[in-house]
Structure 1
Amino acid sequence: MGLADRRKVLGCSQEGLAHALGVDRTTVGRWESGRTVPQPPLRPKLAEVLQVDLAGLDSLVAQPRNPVQEFVEPPIRNDSGSGAIDDMIRREFLRAMAVSGALASLAVDQDEVLGEGVRRGSSEDFLRMNTHLWQVYQLARTKGSLYPIVREQLTALSRTLDGRSKATTRALCGVAGDLFQLAGELAFDGNHYTNAAASYTLAASASREAKSFDLWACALVRHAYVEVHEGRHNEAVSILSAAARLAKRGDGTLSTRHWVASVQAEAHAGLGDLNACERALDEADKVQDLTGPGTNGGWLRFDGSRLAEERGARYVQLGRLDLAEKTLTSALEHRALAEGQSYRRRGAVLTDLAAIGAKRRDPEQVVTFGREALQLARESSSGYVARRLRNLRADFGPLVRDSRVAELGAEIGALSTARGEG
């Protein structure tokens, strides 16, 4: 019996189930077809509505496609609903793989290549293409538009690995560690967390084989982001501890260890530990002491320019609204954000300022900043900003009695529905 079968046994429609859970009907449809799985916060309520325990719910949820297939294989339809594997169990397995650095196998063959830039199949050519793709990713309003190119590049790279010397294979594994991190970024921005985790696992494994400690550490940092954004802060702390150890073995002129610290601050804030959070932020701030650029413009971009907004966001998490508002307002006025050079960053700051208004029960502040963030989410199709807005809506509480706040909440809901997110 699958999820749809159980729903029908109870005489419940997709619309009725969606209403009971506070999600859109299309979200229920995606669960039942196996395209996505219910996220952890929704599982207890879903089990209650379906009159099963959590173990019983696990047996009802259809297994989504192999996450790696999103990037290296054509889509395979799987509507059987059988052989379901709980998403959390799979996530734990992927996390363990990433931390231990178990080497993932990559398909092999040579000849076919993406184009002139990778015709010879050398690591230098692939790296130049990767650098270009990262630049496009950073500038693109709609990140998902880059997906087909990244997938082709991954396919070309996997076909190039066969029959190479040990030194060449190691260099190409470094390229793979780079490219799988970009693939994960695309998945994460589109709210496909399992796919993102799988890509970061492959990135960590390939980076380990390449003996590139900074690249490996950054793959783990990105993997930790998946855990942080799903509220699994203890797991994130564990991953980041491994990343910190790797960063110490890396290039001291790079900002890797400082980026690790900045994400550790977010994980500690999620656990309510103000002191640990501030210690990590102070460590991250030491990026200003680096004499060189510290970044490479691709998989490592942390230069400390966003530390003010990150510190403000951490204060919001910790409930220190006075400190948060002052810090975030300053960040919003920063020239880079004011000029709209980063839609995702500006959208996050605006959402945090709206969240402060929600906590203070100030509808004017919620609407002012929330609407601007909503517009940015629409313009950029950013799953990240949309996700932050959904979290904001959950904090509205009694403010929904204000018609302006209620309207904003409805528009946020429509944004999520239009993106087909679950």
Structure 2
Amino acid sequence: MGGRRVAFAARRKAMGYTQESLAAELKVEASTVSRWERGEVTPQPGYKARIAKALGVTLHELGTLLERAPAPKRCPATAAVVPHDLAEADDMNRRDLLRLFSATGALLALPAVTDAGQAAAAARSGVLDVEEFAVFTSDLWRVYGMAPAKSQVLPLVRTQLDVLTDALRQSQTPATRQRLCRLAADLFQLAGEIYFDGDRYTDAAHCYSLAAAASKEAGAPDLWACALTRHAFIAVYERQFSDAAPLLDLAAALASRGDTGLSTRHWVAAVQAETFAGLGDLDACQRSLDHAAEVQHLTGQVHNGGWLRFDGSRLAEERGTCFVTLGRLDLAEAALTDALNGALTGRRKAGVLTDLAMIGVHRADPDQVITYAEAVVATARRTGSGVVARKLRDLQPHLAPMLADQNIQGLDAEITDLVSGHAA
């Protein structure tokens, strides 16, 4: 039996359907939709056009959504199910995928067609419906946001990049080529996010570099600034703050040339605040946080939900993280408690809870540490997120002075087990 159709289920949810409501729309049993999603059966050809219409995709895109995720393997020694993750996918496909990234990046450096005859032929070729491709790429960000394991989205990203690379090999008009460069920058940033979540920071950095190069070719300063900010955040995350600072300075300069109605420059400022906190500069950190908070004065659609998602809703948790780093626990706890009252994704909530656990470490309060850290462990086990596992790994060394407490010993052992399993 094949694996589950994770992307199909995510698309169904993104369109607002339950299994039952989609079944009613298609005039089938809910159990049939469930079996489609479990990969037990494939929809009959007569249903596919109706499914595609309900999900707002083409038949080709539906075929991609119906691809099965690999079935989980079993460990011979224990017969326990070992879930697939990004590392396992990389073992099979990583070199080919990185070659595809590099090939696409090389094609982006080629000049556009200037010959009128070739351009007309390209326009008639129908190799790629650029607008349709853009819509599906945007949908991938929503699928990524909902996927419990982000690595499950990577095969869909690869499929999109395959199509995009084929288009770049064709003769294209300058306008179409510029649009393709924007789409490549978009996809490379999504691929980078997936790798980042999987603890593959070198591969994520490679994707962000390609995204920056594609954004430059597209003449898109906001897209370019976001690619550089993501690249810089890897250094922030690894606490190499002096390496992040120059990238963020360039990102800020680019954002100042972009769309003033977008939140790009405010997001750059938020990441700069974390960098200044890491460098121990409270005043510069506060100024950057205040600049980031100005996003609340913008009106209209300030982000696109994909490569730009900053809307100021994370400011409380970002302030809390900065103040924890700076050792200002009074300011940090107030900001983090405020953040918990908002609507947080599982990964964001794990970050807030880890920071609150760290405050408990500073106060030598084992009960506070256990209360918050155990919730983070549960999230890491449920989602398999490398980002959440990394937060626990960063917390673990700080537990050493408290290891006389049996509960802290148990927590330390849980984190060791979790991190070891994730590394394997």
Structure 1 CA distance, aligned partners of 2:96 and 2:330? 43
Give a deviation string over 1:148-200, Cα, whole Å, max 9, x none: 11122112211111221221111100000000000000000111010000000
Larger gyration radius, structure 1 or structure 2: 2
- Comparing 368-377 with 119-128, greater Cα deviation is found at 119-128
- 1:381 aligns to what? 384
Q: Does residue 345 of structure 1 match 2:343?
A: no
Q: How does 1:92-131 map to 2 (within 5 A)?
A: 104-106=105-107, 120-131=127-138
Give a deviation string over 1:37-56, Cα, whole Å, max 9, x none: xxxxxxxxxxxxxxxxxxxx
State the SS of the aligned residue for 1:272: coil
Give a deviation string over 1:286-319, Cα, whole Å, max 9, x none: 0000011201111100000010011011000000
Structure 2 CA distance, aligned partners of 1:314 and 1:125? 41
State the SS of the aligned residue for 1:419: helix
Structure 2 CA distance, aligned partners of 1:299 and 1:279? 25
Q: Does residue 410 of structure 1 match 2:391?
A: no
Question: What amino acid is aligned across from residue 153 of structure 2 in structure 1?
Answer: L
- 2:223 aligns to what? 215
Structure 1 CA distance, aligned partners of 2:224 and 2:410? 45
- 2:80 aligns to what? none
Structure 2 CA distance, aligned partners of 1:70 and 1:277? 42
Q: How many residues align?
A: 318
Structure 1 residues 323 and 256: alpha-carbon distance in aligned structure 2, compared to 1, 3 A threshold: same
Give a deviation string over 1:91-126, Cα, whole Å, max 9, x none: xxxxxxxxxxxx941389xxxxxxxxxx84132122
- 1:53 aligns to what? none
Residues 68 and 195 in structure 1, CA contact (< 8 A), matched pair in contact too:
no
Structure 1 residues 228 and 394: alpha-carbon distance in aligned structure 2, compared to 1, 3 A threshold: same
Displacement over 6 Å in runs of 4+: none
Question: What amino acid is aligned across from residue 174 of structure 1 in structure 2?
Answer: R
Give a deviation string over 1:117-152, Cα, whole Å, max 9, x none: xx8413212211111100011111211111111122
Q: How does 1:313-392 map to 2 (within 5 A)?
A: 313-334=321-342, 336-337=343-344, 342-392=345-395
State the SS of the aligned residue for 2:378: helix
- 2:186 aligns to what? 178
State the SS of the aligned residue for 1:191: coil
Q: Does residue 149 of structure 1 match 2:156?
A: yes
Q: How does 1:248-287 map to 2 (within 5 A)?
A: 248-287=256-295
Give a deviation string over 1:379-414, Cα, whole Å, max 9, x none: 111111110111111111211111111111111111
Q: Please, what TM-score do these two structures have when normalized by structure 1?
A: 0.72
Q: How does 1:225-244 map to 2 (within 5 A)?
A: 225-244=233-252
Match of 1:294 among 302, 323, 326: 302
- 2:214 aligns to what? 206
Unaligned ranges ≥5, structure 2: 1-85, 111-125
- 1:39 aligns to what? none
Q: Please, what TM-score do these two structures have when normalized by structure 2?
A: 0.72
Structure 2 CA distance, aligned partners of 1:301 and 1:123? 23
- 2:146 aligns to what? 139
- 1:112 aligns to what? none
Structure 1 CA distance, aligned partners of 2:271 and 2:185? 20
Structure 1 residues 68 and 170: alpha-carbon distance in aligned structure 2, compared to 1, 3 A threshold: farther
- 2:174 aligns to what? 166
Pairwise CA RMSD: 2.4
Residues 141 and 343 in structure 1, CA contact (< 8 A), matched pair in contact too:
no
Residues 142 and 306 in structure 2, CA contact (< 8 A), matched pair in contact too:
yes
Structure 1 CA distance, aligned partners of 2:413 and 2:419? 10
Residues 217 and 247 in structure 1, CA contact (< 8 A), matched pair in contact too:
yes
Structure 1 CA distance, aligned partners of 2:306 and 2:328? 34
- Using CA pairs under 8 Å that are at least 6 residues apart, name the structure with larger relative contact order, 1 or 2: 1
Residues 71 and 183 in structure 1, CA contact (< 8 A), matched pair in contact too:
no
- 2:397 aligns to what? 394
Structure 2 CA distance, aligned partners of 1:289 and 1:375? 37
Unaligned ranges ≥5, structure 1: 1-34, 37-63, 76-102, 109-118
Question: What amino acid is aligned across from residue 160 of structure 2 in structure 1?
Answer: Q
Residues 185 and 214 in structure 2, CA contact (< 8 A), matched pair in contact too:
yes
Structure 2 CA distance, aligned partners of 1:312 and 1:106? 43
Question: What amino acid is aligned across from residue 393 of structure 1 in structure 2?
Answer: Q
Structure 1 CA distance, aligned partners of 2:221 and 2:200? 26
Q: Percent identity?
A: 50
